[in-house]
Structure formats: C-alpha cells, structure tokens
A and B are shown apart, each in its own frame.
Chain A
Amino acid sequence: MQRKMRGRGVAASWYGIARTATVDRAGAWAELDDGGTAKVVTGVTEIGEGILTVLAQIAAEELGIRPEDVTIGDNDTARSPEAAHAGATRQTYMIGNSVALACREAKARLFAEIAAHWEVDAGTLVAFDGELRAEGTNLAMTMAEAVDLCKRRGVVPVGAGHFAAHGTGLNPEDGSGAPWQAYVFGTQVAEVEVDTVTGEVQVLGLWAAHDVGRVINPRGVEGQIEGGVVQGLGQALMEDYQTANGHPVTHGFAKYILPTALDVPEITSILVEDPDPLSPLGAKGIGEPALVPTAPAIINAIHDAVGVRIRSLPATPEKVLAAIAEKQARAAAAREAAE
C-alpha cells in the first residue's frame, strides 16, 4: 500500500423543518415607519445563522423598501410577540413567514390609503426598493412620501402576523403521525486522503447538495452548509467528549479537539430549491440538515480509500491505523491458510 491513499464516499439524508410532532407557531409585528423605513418586532435574535438579515430581506421585499431600512427588535418576552425558540431549523420558516404576514398587513393598510388618494385600485400598487407606483399609470412616489401621506390621512400602517406549522404527535404504539409539514433532503460527497503511516485522515473536498426550499440569502445558506460540514467533520474525525466514572477528562480545548482552518476541505455547496407549498415564502431551512450526511460520507470515503469500515466515531488516527493493521493481518492469515 502506498503511504497516502485517497477515496470518495457519499451519504444522503433527510430532515424535518420546525418543531417536531407538535403545532409550532410564532408571531411578529410590523410597522411602516417614517422616512419609508420599517420596524419589525419578534421574539428571537441572531444565534449566528443570519436570521436578522433574512428577516430584513423578507420585510424589505414585502414592504417595498430596502433591507437596511428595516430595524429588527426586540428579543424580549416583555416587549415582543412569542417567537419561541431559536433552534429546530425553524427560524426562517416560522419567524420568516410570520414577519412576511405581518408586513403584508401593514402594507395593505398603507396601500389602501395611497390607492384612495390616487383613486386607483390597491391591486395596481407595486412597491420595491423604496419606490411606490401604480401600474398602468405614471403615478409614483417614494415610500417615505407614502408613509407620510398615509399618516396624514390618520392611519399608522401597522400589521401583525403569525404562522403555524401543523405537525401531529406520534401514536405511542406504532409511532405513526405527521411530525412535520415540510421536509428537506441532502446529499454529500467527501474526498479523503488517508495517511497509512499515521492513520491521519484529511478531507480534501466536499460537495454538499441540499434542498432548502426557496433561497432567501444564498451566501447565508452556504455559510450554514460550510459550518455544518465542519462540525460534521469534527465529529467524524476528532471530537470526543470523554468521562471516566462520570468525571470529565476532556475539560478544555487542549483536550477537546476541534477542527482548525487547516483541517477543513474545500466545500462546494449546491443549493436545490424545492419550494414549500404550505407557506407564503416557500423557504424551508438548512441549519441542522447541513450536518447530517457529513460524517457518514467521510467514513464511506475512508472505506473507499483503504478498505476499512469505521463503525464507531470518531475515526481517530489511532482507530484508522488499528483497522488497517487488522485488515492486513486478516489478509496475511488468509494467504497463509491458502498456502
């Protein structure tokens, strides 16, 4: 065997969007504000996934203004409607749709006033990027002017929205039920190099194809995939929280080994859009699903490279080398038996 052996593996996966086997729900408020800006209030904040930007994009699109004109607050149980938890790949789906619906209501209030002012049908009004116009006419004004006009007519353009995802509980006997209304699927291919002297595995390339529903922010989705893949790589190859009789032995980052910039592969993300028919936005999610196929793709690639099957994570250099040695010993024994 050469010292450095390469191989490839694939793994597929699926995942459900939002909370499991229950009715998930969230709420939001919106207000078209002075200067053609907007306030959006909902009960969660950023955990790093980019939800604030996604919500600002959704609000901007729905209200006809720019994302930077949107102010998002307030992550506060005493000041904002319930949005429940920041997890379960539910932020874009649950909060995003709530915000879209709240914005639609606020915009409808504004459009009703402007339509009356222009004496046109509200259905002809189109707003985008801070400009409002009535289709089929040369009537136009900025959203700042529109909000001002709306307020002078005695109307503050506010809206509230809520969104529910109707999962059902599982039957306690046979587990039957409809735990989610939206599903996503993913497939990843990993290319690895195994050092047969040390047992070290490097992941050199990773292709990740994921259905995320309608994409709101492509870079944001890629960021979630890249982060998920590297967490999956950590679990596949190095991370291992250990205890001895309940006493943690990996009590710091010197012992609990995380991937560094030198350990990550080149990652190619392929975004597949299968829009969700049951929600206004059609977006689904990617936070958690990105991680699911990574470890098995890497483990399958190790098998392709050196012919050993790692059944217990992580595939540390020690484990990989022991498996190679065992395989060679088996082959030698088989040869001997044959002779």
Chain B
Amino acid sequence: MLTFDRYEMPATLPEALALWADAPEGARLVAGATDILPWAREGRAGDVDLPLGIDLSRVAELQGHERHGSRVRLGANTVWQDFLDDAQLARWLPVMPHCAVWFADDQIRQQATLAGNLVNASPAADGTPPVLALNGELELCRWAGDHILCRTMRVEDFVTGPGATRLAPGELVNSVTLDCADGYGASFQKVGQRRSLVISVACVAALVKLDETGTRFADVRLALGGVGPVPERLRDIEDRLKGEPVDTRLIEDAAAATAARVASRSRVDYRRRVVPGFVCAALEEAAERARVAQRKEALHA
C-alpha cells in the first residue's frame, strides 16, 4: 500500500524542479505511476509511506514532441500509446510501434511513459533497446536556485546497472531525443512466457536501411535487452553487416556471435540458446520490412 504525506501536481517545469530541489529525503517523482504503485506491495517494498510525491503528468513543458532535422525530441510525458496512435511518430520511429505493441497492455500504455521506462533501468526494460538503436539522448534538468540547469546524456551512458542510472539528485528527465529512421524497416522481438502483459526474458530491437538496389545493408541498428545488467547496442555486428549483401548465411554468422554477450545471472543457458536465433529473426524481419517500405516508396514516386 502506497501512501503520501504530500502529493503535488506542479503545472510548470520550474515549479516541478523547485519542489524536487527542496524535496525531503524519500520523496519520489511520479510519472505514469505504473511502476511505483505495484512496487509498494507485499513481496516487493511492502507498505510504503512517502513524504512527498511530485506528479509530473501536468507539467506543460514535458508534453508533446517536435522534429528538428533528423532527430525527434519527445517530451518526457510521451506515453507508450502515442507510438501506436500518432501516425507521424510511427513513421519517424518505425521500431517504436512494434515495441509498443509488446509493452504491457493497452491500458498501461495510456499511462506509462518512455522516459519512466528508461529511468527505471530494468535490465529487461522493453524501451531501452529501441532507444539505444536510435541513438537516444536524455535531457536532464535541475533547479539551480533561480534558473533551470540542463545537460544531455546518451542513454547508453545513462543506464549503469539494474535500477541504476546517472540521474543526479534534484534532476529529472525533461525529454528523450531519438534519431528519425524514416524508410528503415524495423523489428522488435521479445520472448517471455505468454503474449500479453509479458516481462521479457530477452528482447531485441533491429532497424535496417537498404541501399538503393534493395539488396545490401545501408545501415543496421541492433540492440539487445534482458541478457545482462544493462541493455546493449551491438555495434560490432552492425559494422559487420553494413555494406554487405542481405544474405541469410551472413546474418546467421553475425548473429551467432551474440550468444557470448549473454551476461545475465539467471537462465543463462536459455538466453544463450535463444539470442542468436532471435537476432537473426529480427534482422530478417527488419530487412523484409525495409524492402516493403522501399517498394511502397517506389510506387508513390
């Protein structure tokens, strides 16, 4: 059971940051609340009384998204359902709808935020691999007495271990900025024990761009989750494939190397068996979708 001695709903970023800067020990930021409420239950944290909850869902500056060149900046209140409902976001970030559809369920996606998923830093977080693949960067802000201080950090550097990040005291995530990947084919694969409301045993995000002939990898983005303390971008495999022809044998060879990346403490054998096949399937599906996207584009042109 979760109780708060105070519950605040700031409307602006300065208000939120000021509250956070002065917050008593044990205070918590509340974004979607879909993690904090289940956390305060028996078997996990048990009954928890927090001195202060700062609910960010009404902070104006954290809403919405905008595109700047080849990057898109997502306000921290962007929820998972946005990747399914907003056709523009789906086009810019083709991997996100495939990931979103695996994320929790329809109801939770209305509340749960991408930023919250990153900050929670679960090794099995669905959101981190696609964000890594899209060179995700966070804007972190804090209150400096009379003004807001912001810094940016790559998500790859931000997540340091299970539940651990480089978020400094007084800081909150203001936005998540991602590469736009228009024209890429994307795939998100996840294995768990069922097909909805499932926590990943392992997941992989893949993005593929083909060259103009549609036969070679022009770009490859690949990231794995659930196989170690932090999700990981697989740059060596990306590099191995870039410029090469899209070929099953080559993909299989490249993917075989991923088994060695498994560094989880549990179900190691299983993860080692699954991951290479999984990475293969993701690359092949992404390549196929890239071909379809290319054909569609050709048709329109």
A, B from the same assembly: yes
Chain A residues contacting B160 (CB-CB under 8 Å) are none
Chain B residues contacting A321 (CB-CB under 8 Å) are 270, 273-274
Whether A251 is near chain B, meaning CB under 8 Å from some CB there, is yes
Chain B residues contacting A124 (CB-CB under 8 Å) are none
**Are B274 and A248 closer than 8 Å at their CB atoms?**
no
B-facing residues in A151-188 (Cβ within 8 Å): none
Whether A197 is near chain B, meaning CB under 8 Å from some CB there, is yes
**Are A317 and B191 closer than 8 Å at their CB atoms?**
yes
**Are A197 and B43 closer than 8 Å at their CB atoms?**
no
Supposing A197-B278, A318-B267, A321-B273 touch, asked if A254 and B191 sit within 8 A by C-beta, the answer is: no
Query: What are 25 pairs between A and B in contact, CB < 8 Å?
Result: A3-B277, A3-B281, A197-B274, A197-B278, A198-B191, A199-B270, A238-B193, A238-B194, A252-B41, A252-B43, A257-B193, A259-B194, A260-B194, A261-B196, A262-B194, A263-B194, A317-B201, A317-B270, A317-B274, A318-B201, A318-B270, A321-B270, A322-B269, A322-B270, A325-B273
Chain B residues contacting A200 (CB-CB under 8 Å) are 191
How far apart sit A94 and B274, CA to CA, in the bound complex (Å)?
Answer: 52
Whether A53 is near chain B, meaning CB under 8 Å from some CB there, is no
Whether A269 is near chain B, meaning CB under 8 Å from some CB there, is no
Whether A316 is near chain B, meaning CB under 8 Å from some CB there, is yes
Q: How many A-B residue pairs have CB under 8 A?
A: 59
How far apart sit A221 and B273, CA to CA, in the bound complex (Å)?
Answer: 43
Chain B interfacial residues counted at CB < 8 A: 22
Whether B297 is near chain A, meaning CB under 8 Å from some CB there, is no
How far apart sit A254 and B104, CA to CA, in the bound complex (Å)?
Answer: 10
What per-residue 1/0 map shows which CB atoms of A296-339 lie under 8 Å from chain B? 00000000000000000000111001100100000000000000
**Residue in A closest to B189 when the chains form the complex, CB atoms:** A198
| Residues of A contacting B: mostly | loop
How far apart sit A200 and B200, CA to CA, in the bound complex (Å)?
Answer: 13
Chain B residues contacting A238 (CB-CB under 8 Å) are 193-194
A residues with CB within 8 A of B? 3, 196-200, 237-238, 248, 251-252, 254, 257-263, 316-318, 321-322, 325
Supposing A257-B193, A260-B197 touch, asked if A248 and B267 sit within 8 A by C-beta, the answer is: no
How far apart sit A120 and B182, CA to CA, in the bound complex (Å)?
Answer: 88
Chain B residues contacting A199 (CB-CB under 8 Å) are 270, 273-274
A-facing residues in B258-276 (Cβ within 8 Å): 267, 269-270, 273-274
**Residue in A closest to B202 when the chains form the complex, CB atoms:** A198
